[in-house]
Every structure is written in structure tokens, then in C-alpha cells.
Chains A and B, each alone.
Chain A
């Protein structure tokens, strides 16, 4: 009996080891990669692409990859999909292992070359952004002289793909997050026009609530939709957010005085009076589902929710307008946002020609339009246009697109957790402990000053 058991155990272990050994024989480790003589050569080339998870984008890429493979016999595209949260680690390990050729740079908040270290920050920053570290480690290929770079909008390339005057990434799209979805039918029913100023918005909200409906909803359960929803509000008060970042660092702008305080006070009105109660239980997508039900007038969130909204087949007519945070109409006419994903090439790729051909194919103006139609970003190529209901709604405003504070802000080293005043809307009760806007504003400034003086 005991002897039998021993025999089984031994057999078991041996079996397991054999399985493991067999497994390793049938797989390859890193692709040895023969030197390529260019796309369409007779050599077998596997091009390794690292992409982030986004269902519509991944579907588009799978289609693109099969077309690219058909047009380039001998090339196999091996695409790995990784969640945004794991992307930074994946880029790190795969460039270290030299196991990647083309990289879709969409890590963390997915905002291309944002949050760079600027002169006014001196040495007082905690961390350099990932993309800068990748460049300084020599892991990214310089794309400056490639012909396909010219397909893109100069400003996009300059702001989102350039470091020290060299181009390292192709920014593929922009998104705006500062506007709000508007339920036209509900407004008509209540007898209110689309608000163009802050005061209009405040009174509209009151009228809507009096009529038994709700004014606004966001995905409060996830926290970030609260302050992203307030980004248009911030933009109306500070129409130059690069200057805002610099001013905060210099101490010229403070959160507890003047316009800064105005922003914090309005944040409080926004999150405690305009948002419906119960948003703490709504995730980002769930808020959109709720909004599609038709009982809520506004949903301040990013344009990326438009396809989602449509999928719930709302029975009302909707549009997307800037969030009016100021009583001066002209201040309310910007779209604030960020750049989204971008393509990069690993500097040590064994197939630079194929990688460049791949990028050239992606950057081709016709292909780019196909891409845009699939993913729904705002274009970064001047020849492309956003063909969607939302695209039509914001078409006039696109020239007034500006990059938001989120893309410039770097916290000084030693700053406390309340230093980033941009997030203040999420810090009022019931979401967090603050109930007085002046007290919170003072805390924000104190936390920021702690870092600035360090």
C-alpha cells in the first residue's frame, strides 16, 4: 500500500517534468531574428508588436495586421495585447529582453509624451516620465527623418512625440474630456436652453431638479470621473493650462486665492449640488448606462463614451458641448484633452526596415482614416476627419482644442497627497472628508507649498 503510493508519486513527478521539458522544446525563446533586407524580402521575419487593450483598437489592429502580412509576404506580425495598467512593466521587460520591435505607447493614463520635466521645475521633481527614461536609456529609435512623420500635424508631433528636437513617437489621436453630454429632449421638456455660462448652468440645474429630474451624473464610484468631469470647469477659469502649471510652481497662482479659490469653490458646487446623489455607486460605464435612461440632463465626461452611449440606444437626442465654468462666454469655448496612444520603435530591433515599413503603413493617410473611424479619436493628421455623431458635434470646436493641466502637471518632490488641486472635486463629501471649500483650498496650497519649498 505504501509502496504503491510511492510509485505513483514518483511517476507523477516524472510525468510533470516530462511535460515541462516537452513544453519548452516546442516553443522558441526570444526570436533570433535574421537581419532583414527590407519588407517583402524572402527572409522569414516575425515582427513583434506590443499593443494595449482596447477592444475596438485591437479589432482594428488584427485586421490591419492581416492586411500588412498579405502585402508583405514573409513577414508575420506577432502582436501581444497588454492592459494599460501593466503596459509600463511590459515595455520595461520586453525592451530589456529585446523581445519587441514596435511599441504602442499607451501606459497608465495613456497620454503620449506628457508630463515632461520643464525648466521651471529645476531639480524638484520626483520622477521623470517613462517615455523620457526610455529615450535617455537609448531604447527608442529616432524617427525624425522618416518621411511618414510629415503626414502628421506639426503641433501634435511637437507636443506629443518630440524630445530634445528629435521625434520618437507618432501620436495617433487626441481625446477631449472636458465637455458634457447634453440631453436635448430633457432640456426642451424643462424649458431650459443649453447653458453657455456658469450662472446659466447653475439655474438650469435648479430648474431640472425642480422638475423631478437629475442634473448631472458621472461614474463617481471610480473616483477619477468626478474630477475629469470638472476639467472643463477648470479650463474655463484658467484658459491657459500650461501657464497654470507654471504659475502654480512659481507661486504666482495659488489654490486658496483669486481664481484658484474660485475654482475650488465651483468644484464644490459641482460635486455636491450638481451631481446626483448615488453617483458613488456608479462606475464609469454604468453612469453612461444610467444617462442613456434619459432622466439626467448632463454627463460631463470624455468623448470616448459616445460609442458606449449609442450602444444603449438612448431614445433622446443628445449632443456634446463644453462645460461652462465661467460667466464669460468666450472662456467656455475650448475643448480640453490629451493626446492618446502613440507608436514607437525599439532602438535595438533586429528588423528596423520592416518596423519602419509597418509604421509607414499605419501612418498612411488613407489607413489613418480607417483607424480613426474605428477608434473615434480626434485626428492628429490634418487630412483626416472624425466621422461620427460626436465628431460632428465638436467639429467647430476642434480648432479650439487645448491640452489640459493633467498633461503638464508634475508634483514637486515632497508635496502632500492633497497638492494636486485639479482633483479637488473628488475630495468633497460624500466622496472624501472635506466639507468647506476654503479649508480644502488652504490644505491644497499647504500640501503644494511643502513640495515647492523642499
Chain B
């Protein structure tokens, strides 16, 4: 990769150690993705905020880094571990460390968004705009649904772009990579959002390319789109899908394939807690929930995650209150993945409609998981 003279100087440390580190990371990802050069990027969405994911080492790195670095472009951040306004269930130790991380990001100039769905909270730039999104569901959603261009960034590469305002011109920022070579084609009719999640997980796992075509998948509603994007980002390295499109090769996604994903992620028949919100729920999903929970109560504890911004909006129009009447708890700033609200010592098995949630609940939190779609959850666990 060719660097400009100014970039070379920054890499050599002329502008300080933090910028040199950021450029070293950008050069490495540029080499990995075969980039020729760096280009300006407009917006970085940064992951690596939850203490449970980056740990003490990440926390210490960020504290040091944040005293030497400032974000040069709009920078938004992923969920942290818990709801800042409801810290009651969370240990003092966790809160302290989590706040330390949040302060580091804010010190550098991040908007304290604590959301994994920036595309539902912030104004979306024009199609074709280059952005740098870590958080895999947001990267897939942005490329596939919004037509803005990002690679599937890492926590560190997105932060390096936030600091430098630059990112490699490569991979999904090139039109040729955005044309899929392989199509995944469902051979049965989808009934629920869970089917889209199963398809996404399967497609991400089977297709090694950055972009995959999904045949017979037409216009999606928000719930289906988010289920699909979250799942694709979880199982593989794919950062984009297209609705149909020409592809040389075809892989069939039949009921057998759907069942194989279910078997991998769903390990129990019943659970003692319901959780929704990976990706965090948006207004459309909260409206749907308000409808299906009306005049009924959950028979299990139910925790629902959304961003603070969406929560505040839903509060204004009375949506949050309606949902809370069903006994569900709405939590902000955090999400299903690796939250200390849902741990093995508190629960045995978790009921969810989220493929991404199921993956991290079972692999990272070592909990059993029951996968069901939202309507089935309401039918079976409400009265």
C-alpha cells in the first residue's frame, strides 16, 4: 500500500505515538485487504466498549490511548455492559471498570450512543459514502440495505479510522467486490424473522467471500433485515448481501440446512428467562411488541434491549409504558451479547429470537439457549 508523505510521517511517529499506532493498524488492514491507498472516511462506529468483551487489558490500553488521541471524524460507540440508569444488578467492580472504558471513549470525542444499531439512531449519509463500521450487524446493514460503503471493520481498525479520518480503499469499498460470486437460495417459504436469521448464519458460515447473493429474498421489513444482518455478521467474514443478483455458483438453503443451524445454536427446550434485542430493538420492533403484548403478561422474566435514543423516543409516545405493562424490562446502553445481566449463575437457559444473541449466550456465557420467533414466544410465554 502506498502512503502519502504526511501519512508516512505520521506512521513514523512525527505526530505522536497514538497516531503512529493508528497508522500501523491501518497499514496492516490495508495489506490484509490488498488496498493500494488510504482514503477519507466520514464516520466511524466503534466496538469494544463492553468491559466483558475487552477486559482489563483493553481497558488499560484505552485509558492510555485516550490521553494521547482525539477523534477526527464523527465517532459513535457500541453498547456497554449494562444500563447506566439501572445499575442495581451490576457489581461495583464491573461498574467501575465499565465507566472507565466509557470515559476513555468520551475523552477522545465519541458520542456516547451505546448502540449496535447506529443506522436507526443517526442521520444516514448519502449512498456510496465511505464509512468505517465495526459491529458486524451494522456493517452488513449499511452495505446491504443503505448502500453506504464499509468493510467489516474491527474494534481497533474503526478506532484507528476515527483518529486519522482515513481507511483503506479495498474490499467492500470497491464496486467489483460488491458483486457476489455465490448465491444462497432458500427452497422453502419463510414464516418468521427467525428463518431470516437461520439463513444469515448459514450464508455467513458457508460463503467465504465478502459479499453473498441471497436469491428469492425480496424486500425485507426491519425485523427480518436486522435478524439477517446480525446472523451473517456472526458466523463468518461476509460483510454484505445482495437481493438476488447474478452469481456463478448456487448453494441451496433447505429445511435440513435451517435445522442444522438450529441444532448448533438451540440447545434446550425451555428456559427461565426471555431476552430480545441483539441487534437492539428499534421503533418498528417496539411497536410490534406493544401490539402483541397488549393486555397480556409474560410468564417468565423478560429483558428487552434497545438504545437510549430509541427508548427516549418510545417513552414520549407511550410505547415503553405499554411494553412495560406486560412485565418486560426495557434496558438501554447494553445488549444481549456478554451482558452481566444474563449470566450462568443467574439463569439456566435463555429464550430468544436472536441468532447472534444465541451464539454469544452459548459460546461466551455458556448458557443453554432456546430459539423461537417473537410471535411463538408471546404465544407460549404470555397469558
Asked if A and B are interacting partners, one says no
Point out residues on B near A: beta carbons under 8 Å: none
Point out residues on A near B: beta carbons under 8 Å: none
